[in-house]
Amino acid sequence: MSKKYIRYFRKYADAGISLVELIIAASLTAVVVSIAGYGVVWMTQGNVKGSLESEMQYNLNRAVELVTEEIRLGNNVLAVPSNYISTLASGVQTAINAKGTNITPVLSIKFPTSVASAGSEVIYFTIPRANIATGEPERAWLKGDVVLYRYGPGLNADGSYTSSPIVTPIVDMLSNVSAPSCPTTNPSLTRGGNVAGFYVCWDGALTKRKIEIYAATRLSEDRRDLDSNNPRLDYKIDTVAVTRSSN
């Protein structure tokens, strides 16, 4: 190769990268990084959404299982009216009302003495999360629009009931949509509860009372940024439980 061509190649070998080439390379890098970043965000949102949906389903299933089991143990189960709490003993009223305002009673379950101590009663009621009393510790970690609470005897380590009643939240993130009427095919059905998140329909005309339980969770406003194209996560359950023969 002649000295002329050697000098030519050396000249351009030492020239480095031009400004135009640098701009093009930076632009392509920015595009690739942007696409990769969007993919990571999309996958992260999908994982969070899937995890939250699984948590919602698990919590609601467990809550409905608890209610169903206590209905089966009870021998006097009622879908109660909105003023039911005001008819209870003053100590029970105080314990329930301490949890907040805008309380809606849904279901009352009384047990035979073979199950719990005489006079034991479980009351399920709902409270909008925003109406939970500020002094209640669970207000800081409960989520969603509506929370289901339970008043009644606690549980021992062996699963038997204690003689001391407690008030505890059972499940949160319940839907605050107004509850529909009970099926009109049976005029004997009475509804307890006023939100679709948790309500029951019961047939008081039967000796063994059939209780239809409806529950629904809904992603709350503070978590709807997970997916702007599908901003709600809904999960619904409906089941039937039958009590013992009533007294």
Rounded mean pLDDT for each run of 10 residues along the chain, 247 residues in total: 55 59 72 66 56 81 92 87 93 95 94 83 94 91 91 89 92 88 79 91 71 81 45 78 70
What's the confidence (pLDDT) of residue 223?
47
Rounded to whole angstroms, how far apart are CA atoms 143 and 95?
A: 22
To which H or E segment does residue 32 belong? helix 19-73
Burial label for 74, CB within 10 Å (0-12, 13-18, 19+), is buried
| Amino acid symbol at 46 | G
For 59-84, what is each residue's pLDDT tens digit? 899 999 999 999 988 888 888 889 99
Residues in CB range of 132: below 8 A, 6 or more apart: 99, 100, 138, 139, 142, 147
What's the confidence (pLDDT) of residue 40?
58
What's the confidence (pLDDT) of residue 228?
43
**Are residues 227 and 191 in contact, defined by beta-carbon separation less than 8 angstroms?**
no
